[in-house]
Amino acid sequence: MLMRFSRVVSLVLLLIFTAVLTGAVKASLNDKPVGFASVPTADLPEGTVGGLGGEIVFVRTAEELEKYTTAEGKYIIVVDGTIVFEPKREIKVLSNKTIVGINDAKIVGGGLVIKDAQNVIIRNIHFEGFYMEDDPQGKKYDFDYINAENSHHIWIDHCTFVNGNDGAVDITKYSNYITVSWCKFVDHDKVSLVGSSDKEDPEQAGQAYKVTYHHNYFKNCIQRMPRIRFGMAHVFNNFYSMGLRTGVSGNVFPIYGVASAMGAKVHVEGNYFMGYGAVMAEAGIAFLPTRIMGPVEGYLTLGEGDAKNEFYYCKEPEVRPVEEGKPALDPREYYDYTLDPVQDVPKIVVDGAGAGKLVFEELNTAQ
């Protein structure tokens, strides 16, 4: 018993030491999101908690992963290492699931569809393999790395998404109360769409689509970071580093960052936007950090003072307030949060965002 205790203590100390050396972050299955995913409702009085309290299972194959994502009840599903989907496909995720990665977890050629579900957490997983050369615009296969459909209370945290044909994280069909945090998006075109189409029921859609994006790293991406229809979005402390997207036959020049359409209310604060450069500005194809889109325009406001955004080598951001001098929405009416100083955002986000950064100590004694 003493030997086992000593071995566990040594392992924990090693993990802590490793985290200090690699810049990894100590994480827990009890962690709570910041943002709309944290907002309590009658059926989820603690906000999003995923599969907390459920059985912990370790999965190493696509079949094992799908077995537990489609099982009824609470599960903490631990993706251990690389899982390859052959053929490429999406699998369904039911309610009350936490899916976390260890040992440089990757899902290659696979996507997660959260459909008609609630209370799902996905953390510390690298997604790749959804770029197909015969479908550069994502119309033929329509694969998303993560897609929420008619679902609520979802937290996507510390994941990496590389070069897919369609969405990296799409939020559709009246989904609600979602946070996307500390994720890294690389060489992706249509990054994150909120709202299925312009033809959704305006009243129902206006009550849905409450989404927070914070501390995400958008690197050499093209558009929809995010694009919001109907609902409301709080976009803060993200780092946009725009360059050429290479190795693809689709769009290669960055177009825009955050867009608001169909009456959506979007507040953008404390973000650092770095465009493609002065030469592109002279050519008229410089990066547009914020955009107002139609056919019914949305609303979008920028933080001021300590909440200001920084813009470098960008076009002039587009804004449209609901009421002059006031933000399009006040996030503090829904949840508390802390803004990092905008000048610190590039380093904080580059160092901290993406998969492989989290260390879950309690999982090392659960195997």
| Catalytic annotation, residues | 224
Residue 273 exposure: Cα atoms within 13 Å on the Cβ side = 28
Q: What is the DSSP string of 264-292?
A: -EEEEES-EEE-S-HHHHHTT--BEEEEE
Question: b/e for 74-85, b at 16 or more Cβ within 10 A?
Answer: bbbbbbbeebeb
DSSP label of 37: G
Q: Please report, in angstroms and rounded to a whole number, the separation of the first and last CA atoms in the chain.
A: 17
Q: How far apart, in whole angstroms, are the C-alpha atoms of residue 297 and residue 292?
A: 6
**Residue 355: exposure state from Cβ atoms within 10 A (0-12, 13-18, ≥19):** buried
**Residue 121: exposure state from Cβ atoms within 10 A (0-12, 13-18, ≥19):** buried
Q: What is the dihedral of CA 242, 193, 238, 176, to 10 degrees?
A: 180
Q: How far apart, in whole angstroms, are the C-alpha atoms of residue 174 and residue 199?
A: 12
Quick one: which H or E segment has residue 296? none
User: What are the respective helix, strand and coil percentages of the chain, to the nearest 5?
Assistant: 20, 35, 45
DSSP label of 130: -
Q: How far apart, in whole angstroms, are the C-alpha atoms of residue 266 and residue 257?
A: 12
Structure token digits, residue 188: 């992706």
Q: What is the DSSP string of 299-361?
A: EEEE--GGG--EEESBPPPP-B-SSTTS-S--GGGT----PPPGGGHHHHHHHH-STT-EEEG
Question: b/e for 316-342, b at 16 or more Cβ within 10 A?
Answer: ebbeeeeeeeebbbebeebbeeeeeeb
